Structure 1
């Protein structure tokens, strides 16, 4: 008999319509287990157990809540369990999936995150199906690692590595992945891996935990949220970013799809000038995503690097941002934080062949 622990954290999958709005409801979470136990798809070889360390809509979560969740899991005796299913809100699912991946990269059982696009009572909801498929994946495949299971708008249930899922887009609520390559698919309760040069083989996950897995104690875990994320657009005026008296430790500056941002030499729209100003204040500026630094770059990209921007290559923005929170939380020395963010490899976050 497979023993699975369900970790409820709230989110739409644990919410109900209350008055004119939608909010978390404790009974809403646990009703998933009741529904599952009375459903036609209940596995005869699975017993579910449950805890609820958080009960929040995911847009309201902070790094302090992430620490609470990670500490709760770290303090558990996981030896009785064959897998964890973590229910979470879809709004920030990609971020928490990356963070859990970094912190639990050495797990020898599957950690499977899932969510819902609508509350369970809504007929449009995929929450119950996602929950069932997450259980099927955790119990059936028994792949060690951190994954996300989520049904797309075509009715396909996709499996993502935890560091390779990108935020759901507006209007369609669909998650993505770098290069459009999920890890696999679940159909009729059975997982099939997507053969691709960028996807580690299931055998790779089974052989051994990543050798670079972090060593951390629950009581000492610190995640630093003093990271400012900036997304470029035409007319972005950097003079509005006044970092006095409170200064972030780092800025993560997103890029256009070609790895560029406004690189005029000076003026309010100049990113190189903004980078220089940040350097003068002791603030590290990172740019991401860049497919490969060794690739031929546009001249504007090179100007950003020459101005002092630190390149995070081959990572999605979601994976990069959470890694920076971890880097500056773990390392007081900025040089060590920079090295951790750009040189370490924790859980398949680098999308490479």
Structure 2
């Protein structure tokens, strides 16, 4: 008999329609296990155990909730289980998966996050199928690490590495991955690896040295003093006045070619804004850049010349969570910077 631990956090997969809206329900999460047990696809060789440290929609998650979830996982003797399944809201699934990937990069069993596009009672919901695939993956695949399983709009149950899933986009509700390459697919209830030069082989996961950032539940800090900015034409930086209340760092997203407005001065000038932040002692990061060894646009180089720190080969979601963790773990900015830009925890750099 294989023992699996299911950790409920709320989200749509644990919600019910209530009046005109959708909200978490105290019995919604455990309804998922009931639905699985009555689905005809339940497994006789698996026993599900469950805990629920959180019960909220994922858009309401805060750093304190991540700490609560992390402490709940750490308190469990994971050697008693073949795998762990974490149900999570889809709205912030990519962020939660990255954070769990960093905190539990030393996991010796599969830890699988999954979610749902609609409440289980809605006929459009993929939640039960996602959960069923998560059970099969966690029970059968001897792959240590953090994964996400989520069915796309083509009915494909895709498997992502936890640091390589990007936020679902509006209108289609589809998740992505850097370079458009998920880690694999569930086919006939078994995992099929997607062979690609950027995907580590399953044996690489089994044989890799296990990294762990070093934290304890009582002292874990996840820093919320990181400001995240996305570029758009007409972004006026004069509205960001940090003279009175300063963040520790800024993460500035970039257009797909690694650029943002690089005019030399004025309210739209990112180089001028970077220089102003640096003068205040605020670390300034830019991301994503595929590979800084490639030829960069001159505008990208001007951002670096102004003092921007490049986070190379990470998605913005993975970079933001690593910044929040790094600046929480280390009081010295230099150590936090080294943690973010020089360490590798769980394949966050998009290469094999």
**Counterpart-to-counterpart distance in 2, 1:322 and 1:153:** 27
CA contact (8 A) 1:108 1:209 kept: no
Partner of 1:326: 325
- Taking the TM superposition and a 5 Å limit, the aligned residue runs for 1:140-219 are 140-210=140-210, 212-219=211-218
Q: Distance in 2 between matches of 1:208 and 1:289?
A: 26
Aligned residue for 2:29, secondary structure, equals helix
Kindly state the Cα deviation for residue 352 of structure 1 after the two structures are TM-superposed: 2.1
Counting only pairs closer than 5 Å after superposition, residues 1-353 of structure 1 correspond to structure 2 as 1-210=1-210, 212-353=211-352
Distance (whole Å) between structure 1 residues aligned to residue 297 and residue 153 of structure 2 = 36
Using the TM superposition, give the Cα deviation of residue 139 of structure 1 relative to its aligned residue in structure 2, in angstroms.
0.5
Q: CA RMSD in A?
A: 0.8
Deviations 1:127-185 (A, max 9, x none): 01001010011001131110000000000000000000000000111000000000000
Alpha-carbon separation, structure 2, partners of 1:115 and 1:279: 40
* 1:251 match: secondary structure: strand
Distance (Å, rounded) in 2 between the aligned partners of 1:251 and 1:331: 16
Cα pair 2:11 2:58 within 8 Å, conserved: yes
Does the CA-based 8 Å contact 1:105-1:209 persist in structure 2? no
Please give the alpha-carbon distance, in whole angstroms, between the structure 2 residues aligned to 1:320 and 1:168. Answer: 17
TM-score of the pair, normalised by structure 1: 0.98
C-alpha distance in structure 2 between counterparts of 1:352 and 1:27, whole Å = 41
Mean Cα deviation higher: 255-264 or 335-344: 335-344
Q: Which runs of 5+ in 1 are unaligned?
A: none
Deviations 1:89-142 (A, max 9, x none): 000000010010001111111100000001111111100100101001100113
State the Cα distance separating 1:209 from its structure 2 match.
Answer: 4.2
Q: CA deviation at 1:220?
A: 1.4
Shift of 1:244: 3.4
The Cα offsets for residues 227-252 of structure 1, whole Å up to 9 and x where unpaired, read as 00000000000000011322110000
TM-score of the superposed pair, with normalisation by structure 2: 0.99
SS at the partner of 1:94? Answer: helix
Contact 1:87–1:115 under 8 Å retained in 2 = yes
Q: Is the contact between residue 13 and residue 118 of structure 1 (CA under 8 Å) also seen in structure 2?
A: yes
Q: Distance in 2 between matches of 1:253 and 1:246?
A: 18
Distance 2:90 2:130 in 1: 12
Asked whether the equivalents of residues 243 and 280 of structure 2 are also in contact (C-alpha less than 8 Å), the reply is: no
1:215 positional shift: 2.2
Shift of residue 214, structure 1, vs aligned partner: 1.9
CA–CA distance in structure 2, aligned partners of residues 45 and 351 of structure 1? 36
Gaps of 5+ in 2: none
Cα distance in 2 for partners of 1:217, 1:10 equals 24
Instruction: Name the CA distance, whole Å, in 1 between partners of 2:55 and 2:318.
Output: 24
- Secondary structure of 1:26's match? coil
Q: Deviation at 1:267?
A: 0.1
| 1:259-295 residue CA offsets vs partner (Å, 9 max, x unmatched) | 0000000000000000011011111110000001111
